[in-house]
Amino acid sequence: MLAGVLALAGAGSARAVTDDAAALTLEPLSGSPGTEVVVTGGGFDRCAPTVVRVNALNRQAVANTAQILWSGTEVATATVGSNGSIMSSFRVPGDAKPARYTVEAHCTDIPDVAYTEEFEVTRTLVPVPDLIGMHRDEAGEELIREGLVLGQVTGDGETVQRQKPGVGTTAEAGSAVDIHLGTLPRPTVVPNIVRLTRAQAIAALAAAELRLGRVSGRGDVVRSQDPKAGETVSRDSAVDITVGSATRLVVVPRVIRRTTEAAAEILRDRGLVLGPVDGDGERIRDQFPEPGTKVPVGSAVSVTTERDKVAPVLVQVPNVVGRTVNVARPALTGAGLVLGGQPAGDRTVASQKPAAGTFVKPRSVVTVTLVALPMVQVPDLVGHGADRARTALSDLGLVFDGGSASDRDIVSQQPAAGTLVPVGTTVTVTFDQPSSAWAAVVVLGALLLGVGAAIYRVVRLRLDQSFVRNKVKVVVRQTALRGPRITESNRSPAMPVVRIEPHADAGTHTLEEV
Which domain CATH number covers 157? 3.30.10.20
Q: 10 falls in which pLDDT band (50, 70, 90)?
A: very low
Domain that holds residue 486: 472-513
pLDDT in tens, 39-76: 999 888 877 665 555 555 665 556 688 999 999 999 99
> Are residue 342 and residue 407 in the same domain, yes or no?
no
**Residue at 162: amino acid letter:** R
The C-alpha angle 44, 47, 52, rounded to 5 degrees, equals: 150
Q: Is the separation of the CB atoms in 112 and 15 below 8 Å?
A: yes
Domain's final residue, options 180, 195, 227: 180
What's the rounded Cα separation, in Å, for the pair 229 and 306? 21
Mean pLDDT calculated for residue range 336-340 = 89
pLDDT in tens, 245-267: 766 788 999 999 999 999 999 99
pLDDT in tens, 383-430: 888 888 888 888 888 888 877 666 778 888 988 888 877 777 888 988
- Looking at the chain, the number of H-run helices and the number of E-run strands are 7, 37
pLDDT confidence of residue 2: 32
What's the rounded Cα separation, in Å, for the pair 242 and 198? 10
> Are residue 22 and residue 65 in the same domain, yes or no?
yes
pLDDT confidence of residue 17: 38
261 φ/ψ angles, rounded to the nearest 5 degrees? -65, -45
Q: Is residue 483 predicted with pLDDT exceeding 60? A: no
> Are residue 171 and residue 85 in the same domain, yes or no?
no
> Are residue 115 and residue 157 in the same domain, yes or no?
no
What's the rounded Cα separation, in Å, for the pair 340 and 359? 17
> Are residue 7 and residue 117 in the same domain, yes or no?
yes
Asked, for residue 427, whether it belongs to a domain, the answer is yes
Q: Is the separation of the CB atoms in 427 and 399 below 8 Å?
A: yes
What's the rounded Cα separation, in Å, for the pair 208 and 205? 5
Asked, for residue 228, whether it belongs to a domain, the answer is no
> Are residue 51 and residue 152 in the same domain, yes or no?
no
Q: 466 falls in which pLDDT band (50, 70, 90)?
A: low
Domain's final residue, options 352, 372, 392: 372
What's the rounded Cα separation, in Å, for the pair 366 and 339? 5
pLDDT confidence of residue 108: 85
2 φ/ψ angles, rounded to the nearest 5 degrees? -65, -40
Asked, for residue 55, whether it belongs to a domain, the answer is yes
**pTM for the whole thing?**
0.28
pLDDT in tens, 173-182: 888 999 998 8
Asked, for residue 253, whether it belongs to a domain, the answer is no
pLDDT in tens, 75-92: 999 988 888 889 999 999
Residues 6+ apart with CB under 8 A from 298: 195, 247, 271, 272, 273
CA 24 → CA 28, 115, 290, distances in Å? 12, 6, 90
pLDDT confidence of residue 5: 32
Tally of CA atoms within 13 A in the half-sphere of 359 that contains its CB? 3
| DSSP secondary structure code for residue 129 in this structure | P
What percent of the chain has a predicted confidence (pLDDT) above 90? 30
> Are residue 65 and residue 20 in the same domain, yes or no?
yes
Q: Is the separation of the CB atoms in 52 and 63 below 8 Å?
A: no
Mean pLDDT calculated for residue range 293-315 = 82
> Are residue 426 and residue 507 in the same domain, yes or no?
no
Asked, for residue 35, whether it belongs to a domain, the answer is yes
CA 111 → CA 4, 15, 77, 87, 119, distances in Å? 20, 11, 13, 17, 21
pLDDT confidence of residue 7: 34
Q: Is residue 235 predicted with pLDDT exceeding 80? A: yes
What's the rounded Cα separation, in Å, for the pair 345 and 327? 8
420 against 488, higher pLDDT: 420
pLDDT confidence of residue 21: 39
Q: Is the dihedral of CA 207, 208, 211, 216 positive or negative?
A: negative
Mean pLDDT calculated for residue range 86-109 = 90
Query: Which residues of 160-282 form beta strands (DSSP E)?
Result: 162-164, 170-172, 176-180, 187-189, 211-216, 221-226, 232-234, 238-244, 249-251, 273-278
Q: Is residue 508 predicted with pLDDT exceeding 60? A: no
Mean pLDDT (the chain) is: 80
**9 SS3 class:** helix
Domain's final residue, options 121, 152, 169: 121
> Are residue 8 and residue 111 in the same domain, yes or no?
yes
Asked, for residue 299, whether it belongs to a domain, the answer is no
C-beta neighbour count of 232 within 10 angstroms: 9
> Are residue 484 and residue 408 in the same domain, yes or no?
no
> Are residue 368 and residue 404 in the same domain, yes or no?
no
Out of 59-68, 217-226, 251-260, 280-289, least confident range: 59-68
> Are residue 386 and residue 416 in the same domain, yes or no?
yes
Asked, for residue 444, whether it belongs to a domain, the answer is no
What's the rounded Cα separation, in Å, for the pair 189 and 389? 82
What's the rounded Cα separation, in Å, for the pair 337 and 285? 36
CATH classification at residue 55:
2.60.40.1930
Asked, for residue 415, whether it belongs to a domain, the answer is yes
Q: Quote the number of domains for the chain.
A: 5
Q: Is the separation of the CB atoms in 174 and 149 below 8 Å?
A: yes
